[in-house]
Structure 1
Amino acid sequence: MVFMTFKGHCIFALASVILAKKVSFSPALAEGEWGIIALGALLSCLLPDIDHSQSFISRHLKIISFFTSYILKHRGFTHSILAVILYVECIHQFFPSTLIPYQDFQDAMIIGYVSHLVADILTPAGIPLLWPCPWRFCLPVLHPNSSVREILFCVLFLIYATVVIH
């Protein structure tokens, strides 16, 4: 397996948002409710894979996935800095604080999305952070064909974020 699994992405997102809360990444996260923060990260951590027809999120959002996987190449635009900028703007435009009064939820959604990209950078396939430039960025610490190693890595990151960081 060259790609992360949905379980790996979910664990990695939880670890990322726990770490962000503990280091006071934003005032809203520092003061935010754990349940809201975890929900925000989990709801968004699989979004970048909406462009892959066989991904967990695509199988559950078939209509959206049909169009995005037809138009976009997997690990293309949705795995870029440009997509992160667009995603952040969409969150602020479509979910203003009057609709979602929880800034911690919005921040957690952003961290969930970005955590997906960071996790995919750790695979040998990497991601095109500077899309449409074809360069792929990777730090291949996750070995291909080893879902056990992937889950172990993500769980160790979760333990680190939960226990070690004060």
Structure 2
Amino acid sequence: MSASFSHINQRGDAHMVDVSEKQITHREARAESIVLMNAETFNMIIEGKHHKGDVFATARIAGIQAAKRTWELIPLCHPLLLSKIEVNIEPLFENHSVKIESICKVTGQTGVEMEALVAVSVAALTIYDMCKASQKDMIINQVKLLNKVGGKSGEYNLNKIEQ
């Protein structure tokens, strides 16, 4: 399988892809990240005893804000009028970790994979930032695209690849 890089022109220079001729379609992407921590930090968050407030609510808002500003953070990304950004945070009690999942949607000419990935990344970084005084060795893990639909390349589903 030969891959070409869409952000590299014929001279080898980085450039923003011209999407003006692409069809406007519904596009959606889901991404995930995991934050691993010790039981003490995990319980402090779950029990609402963190001195900075609601860690999950703050991380959720940070993820949503980050998705909206992806084009400012990642070079060569297009600014998008996102129609939906959802960031869900789920405590995983069995291993004292937190699963963050994002869903981004747009009707447009380019995909929302980067927005979904930025959302979970910044939400995870926000959890780390809020809890670093209690634990500096938390691990942000498994940032990955779960699936995407729409556009010329069609559907991508990580579960189909992992099987």
**Would you call these one fold, judging by a TM-score over 0.5?**
no
Pair member with larger Rg: 2
User: How does the TM-score come out when normalised to structure 2?
Assistant: 0.37
Counting strand residues as a fraction of each chain, which structure ranks higher? 2
Counting helix residues as a fraction of each chain, which structure ranks higher? 1
